[in-house]
Chains A and B, each alone.
Chain A
């Protein structure tokens, strides 16, 4: 689900091909670099390729995009396996990065050694995620592009109607420090707003947000699968399930047409929103939702989603590609990506730049999103990521939590169904 989330995040524009790419471009002495991404990644849309090509006349950049990461990622794996069909630079989603560093590091360029790449400019946990385990050589094969620090997006008008404060400071204070208070606020909201108006969009959205705020989730530091016994995961599951059992959820499934319609119809009052989701909400809620939505600080700093760039060794222009990857992920470019597309920088050095620190979101009542998400990003714990994070997260959400939320099963039944599906999936 995180994968689907990421690619849908901020894809206000269609991933159209570069109008400049064509027979007119090219010529003698030019190097063509290809970039393979999923969804509307934003690098092209933010004009970064054009800028790089203008600075380096010998380089031409072409992008290929596959809409869904579910289709993109298996293809990337098979291409890496055969060493053919690869783009010079490939994007990797955060839920897949551990599998890439653990199983494919020997096929990728060590980007940590490329000149101009500054480890100190990155958030330490993001840098660690793109680095292979010491046993696999310890190379930094993935450079972080964006991350997904979360806030809570809420409807001011619905909060007011339910007698709750609507100012973003006051709203953030309602649940500061504890996800449990978020649930309590939901109960208070329901008591006033009555039936028919839900507090959250879905229980699984809450679960993703809560699990994103704990350092240890599905794997321990030794790489063992521990989600079953980890109280943080079970706690997140049970807390999120309470939103369903208390009748606070609109019982929607995220990134489905019904969810989109929910935004348009104001079917719920809050949704936990990573930075990349703001553009999505603006798209789906449309002009009618302007000045109704706002964004407040989440109960605890939490991360959901984000991506990396890797450079396969098998590429013809690996050296030039590594240089481009380093440039694309440098703090200045990440700041531009945030300004144009809302993808939040993974380079903490970018947070001081005015494009980030002073950023306000027009649609969300002029919310100081640079400030809100920087604060969240710096509080996010160093998360342990594992190779099958995506599979575990997906089954917990789309099997376990969905059964509780939409089919009315008990949290225990939902949990057991998810565990059964995950066991089947992880079993070799």
Chain B
């Protein structure tokens, strides 16, 4: 990536600069024009990218730093102006905070329960969509519709489906001879239910990303594989998947970030009760715990510390992934 950015750096403009200076020995107007041309070449790219960085500074960097600052203080939402310095106490107390560890554990299990099947199904769906089929545009749009649904609407429907007494899923389960499941109260059951909502919403989105990548795979690879007698399944395994490796890695990263920030689904799955994530906190994720601390209990400082802890956890995961990838490449 660094090689590409070098193209934009001023040093790349050196040949032009030399040319401009060489031709600039004439009249003063020409000198001015060539100097302006040089500045233009050198600084315009920065002006073009500046809006992003200004917005990022205002709405990305500042909140990030302010949150970090608030995390070092005791500060309540009832009076955000009065802050008391407590150093790292908000962070150290997380170590003994069983609710934090519980939320972290839940976030990991729900993250795995949702991400792994989601990406696997997405890959399969993309493979099917990649076939030549009648009305493919329709299917591609259809696959994306869950993603276009609002989290709130989707979750509320799923809450009804997963209802204990009158839910459709329990009705089906009872009809085929299994007992009804208390989806809200069981630890595994509730986490599975929440994961189902996530899977339903995001599979199509990932499938389309995979599909786009699949269509960039050269057809010759399949042709030669077919000539070698590879079946459809073998082609998928030995041509498609290896060609998609960078894309798969990308979706893994994005899904991991999404899973770490999981919030809307578990919040709404709890009906009217808000951020507790069930009576036993059985599906309270880190995002939900952050919300509970900040916006229910009004402890802005503690909530900020959780937010930063989540950020650091993501950095750790990213670092670990990089290490793994580095080892994979050197093989």
When A81-B79, A398-B279, A406-B279 are in contact, do A258 and B166 touch as well, CB less than 8 Å? yes
| B165 lies within 8 A of A255 (CB) | no
Question: CB of B56 within 8 A of chain A?
Answer: no
> Which of B79, B185, B274, B294 contacts A103, CB < 8 Å?
B79
| A74 lies within 8 A of B77 (CB) | yes
Question: CB of A416 within 8 A of chain B?
Answer: no
Of A12-20, A259-267, A285-293, A365-373, which binds chain B?
A: A259-267
Give the shortest distance, in Å, between B270 (CB) and chain A (any CB).
8
Digit string of B153-175 for contact with A (CB within 8 Å is 1, else 0)?
00010011001111000000000
| B280 lies within 8 A of A257 (CB) | no
When A406-B185, A406-B279 are in contact, do A257 and B296 touch as well, CB less than 8 Å? no
For chain A, the bracket of interface size reads 35 or more
Question: CB of A230 within 8 A of chain B?
Answer: no
| A255 lies within 8 A of B99 (CB) | no
> Which of B165, B281, B292 contacts A258, CB < 8 Å?
B165
Closest A residue, CB atoms, query B301 = A428
Closest B residue, CB atoms, query A75 = B295
Digit string of B255-287 for contact with A (CB within 8 Å is 1, else 0)?
000000000000000011110100111000000
Closest B residue, CB atoms, query A3 = B274
How far is A81 from B81 in the complex, measured between Cα atoms in Å?
A: 8
| A406 lies within 8 A of B80 (CB) | no
Question: CB of A254 within 8 A of chain B?
Answer: yes
How far is A24 from B185 in the complex, measured between Cα atoms in Å?
A: 52
A417 contact set on B, CB distance < 8 A: 279-280
How far is A253 from B298 in the complex, measured between Cα atoms in Å?
A: 24
A55 contact set on B, CB distance < 8 A: none
| A78 lies within 8 A of B279 (CB) | no
> Which of B156, B164, B297 contacts A391, CB < 8 Å?
B297
| A257 lies within 8 A of B297 (CB) | no
B 278-331 contacts with A by CB, 8 A = 279-281, 292, 294-299
> Which of B80, B160, B295, B299 contacts A428, CB < 8 Å?
B299
Closest B residue, CB atoms, query A407 = B185
Give the shortest distance, in Å, between B263 (CB) and chain A (any CB).
13
Give the shortest distance, in Å, between A93 (CB) and chain B (any CB).
13
> Which of A4, A77, A267 contacts B272, CB < 8 Å?
A4
Give the shortest distance, in Å, between B291 (CB) and chain A (any CB).
10
> Which of B80, B272, B281 contacts A254, CB < 8 Å?
B272
Give the shortest distance, in Å, between B272 (CB) and chain A (any CB).
3
Closest B residue, CB atoms, query A425 = B297
Give the shortest distance, in Å, between B86 (CB) and chain A (any CB).
10
A 371-405 contacts with B by CB, 8 A = 391, 394-395, 398-399, 402-403
> Which of B80, B165, B182, B273 contacts A398, CB < 8 Å?
B273
How far is A394 from B159 in the complex, measured between Cα atoms in Å?
A: 21
Closest A residue, CB atoms, query B186 = A407
Closest A residue, CB atoms, query B159 = A257
When A74-B298, A78-B80 are in contact, do A1 and B166 touch as well, CB less than 8 Å? no
When A70-B296, A258-B165, A261-B166 are in contact, do A407 and B280 touch as well, CB less than 8 Å? yes
Give the shortest distance, in Å, between A390 (CB) and chain B (any CB).
8
Question: CB of B4 within 8 A of chain A?
Answer: no
Give the shortest distance, in Å, between B170 (CB) and chain A (any CB).
11
When A265-B166, A428-B299 are in contact, do A258 and B276 touch as well, CB less than 8 Å? no
Q: List 8 A-B contacts (CB under 8 A).
A: A4-B273, A81-B80, A81-B81, A253-B272, A256-B271, A258-B166, A261-B165, A398-B276
New contact pairs (20) apart from A398-B279, A399-B280, A425-B296, CB-CB < 8 Å = A4-B273, A77-B77, A78-B77, A99-B78, A103-B78, A253-B272, A254-B272, A257-B160, A257-B271, A258-B164, A262-B165, A398-B273, A398-B274, A398-B276, A406-B182, A407-B185, A417-B280, A424-B97, A426-B297, A428-B74
- For the complex of A and B, the 3 pairs showing the least CB-CB separation, nearest first, are A256-B271, A255-B272, A402-B279
